[in-house]
Structure 1
């Protein structure tokens, strides 16, 4: 998540959206038991499957303007809540944070897709969901046909570039890593901590997100996501780099021009080429929550990238 993490979801770059019908109308919902976790998932459409992974602190409802467009383009679209987020639940918390590692969450996605009858699929990850998408693609390369990373870099690339600007804008990474204190601060007044605009997010997406952020168990799980990121996830990425493990399927990199990824790091494509063999991408005129703020532009980009899946 970027510097907009505590700001309103409203802002420049938001596409005008007409009055919306029911969120994910025509989609099915189910809860999938994957062993130590239970994953809530929405799915709909027919055709080659594509999985959409949300970021912090959203739920799968963040895709409600994009998913129907991908269905219309001829895809089966699967939108899970990440482990511990929204209506998904994970295991007991442990000192090593392994139960909320990206490796564990990636395995959830593979299990959900097998449950739904899909052994190979395209993958889209935004923000923290992008970290899960990277781990899944590296750990299970045979399952991923194409992958899109939205507003994210590998965690170790962020950590190797810590500057005063990074520390100032992304201080929440290190605050979230502290034991006990973040839970006490956030749960004391979650509505003041997390901000959203129902008109921009869509009222049902907003209500679902607000309910989740008011749940202390969800808040703790989201913090464990960040704690894992600075510890066990970092070590997993470091081992991949040392072993030369790379993303071998085509990769699309998209970033929000009104966010700070390019400002902090320069060309994101140059960084992703350190990790992936076939990279393309560009910036979209949007704030960080691109699926809500620029859904049409994002859907067009994903549809173009996934077009070969339909042939």
Structure 2
């Protein structure tokens, strides 16, 4: 897994992150979702390196084996703004002043916040299976509540979800080695069996219902938009289209005419289930002028993999 990549601890902005990085060329930051670790990208990252990119994959603050700062009553240490600042510090520490960002699920919220808060750094944003947190909560109806009830369960503090999850993590989280790959599965399983990680992941959701929504709503009121080209991708076997219909339409007020995207034939965990299709979509997006000087034609893919794009 991640052959040729370096694994290290990097200083974020208040938390040390476990980071896997490798390759040379235009930089790409890959941000995982809940309850995964950076290992979810192990099928995607080598294809991007083979295509001529430097690739950086951190465990987000609180996830995997990254640090888990103490929280506060408003859950601000787990706000996407804090997580985004960590990622910016890591990228700068690795020598990448400007870079593309790809975020999935909770990582998509971090990626979006990074693009909004630090437009000088982010050259292209790709969002997988997400709309802005503020938009999701503003549009919340019975269908959303039935499908995404875990947002509100994990966000509780009066009856904390941690007690339920820690009683039987394998019953609550249902990844498999067949879907994820054996090493990635073991990394994920180690994380979800750590009560400190479970608590931090719940804090992520608690921040989402409060301070993250405040930040999104403030941006909306101010008319602030993502300044770089924005790509939105969603899985055909997930519920984004069922919930929102025109998924790109939800994002239009956030991106204007610098918006593109569409569905990918996959379940929710696109990087694990459809890595080649994902890399093809990303490279096509970057080739059309969105990326940080992305090469028009990268080197050949490694043996056993189809060309990326």
Aligned to 2:300: none
Please give the per-residue CA displacement for 1:118-172, whole angstroms capped at 9, x wherever unaligned: 1110000001000001111000000000010000000011111112111111111
Q: CA–CA distance in 2 between the matches of 1:155 and 1:266?
A: 17
Equivalent-residue separation in structure 2 for 1:146 and 1:35 (angstroms): 22
Aligned match of 1:185 in 164, 169, 177? 164
**Secondary structure at 2:89 match in 1:** helix
Secondary structure of 1:82 counterpart: coil
2:259 is the alignment partner of 1:291: no
Deviations 1:41-75 (A, max 9, x none): 00000100000000000000000000100111100
Describe how 1:1-311 pairs up with structure 2 within 5 A.
Answer: 23-179=1-157, 180-277=159-256, 278-307=258-287, 308=289, 309-311=293-295
CA contact 1:90–1:99 (8 Å) conserved in 2: no
TM-score normalised by structure 1 residue count: 0.91
Which stretches of structure 1, 4 residues or more, deviate above 6 A after TM superposition?
Answer: none
TM-score for the superposition, normalised by structure 2: 0.92
Instruction: Report the count of equivalent residues.
Output: 289
Q: Which whole-Å deviations, capped at 9, do the CAs of 1:9-51 have from their partners, x for residues lacking one?
A: xxxxxxxxxxxxxx10100011012352110100000100000
- Distance of 2:39 and 2:80 partners within structure 1: 20
Which residue in 2 is equivalent to 1:10?
Answer: none
CA contact (8 A) 1:36 1:90 kept: no
RCO higher in structure (CA 8 A, sep ≥6): 1
Match of 1:141, SS?
A: coil
1:90 deviates by 2.8
The 2-side partners of 1:187 and 1:80 are apart by 24
Aligned mates of 1:275, 1:215 — CA distance in 2: 37
Q: Is the 8 A contact 2:103 2:110 kept in 1?
A: yes
The 1-side partners of 2:177 and 2:12 are apart by 32
Sort the Cα spacing of 1:50 and 1:35 in 2 relative to 1 into closer, same or farther, 3 A: closer
Distance in 2 of aligned mates of 1:108 and 1:158 = 24
The CA distance in 2 between the partners of 1:154 and 1:26, in whole Å, is: 35
Distance in 1 between residues matched to 2:12 and 2:134, nearest whole Å: 28
Deviation of 1:196 (Å): 1.2
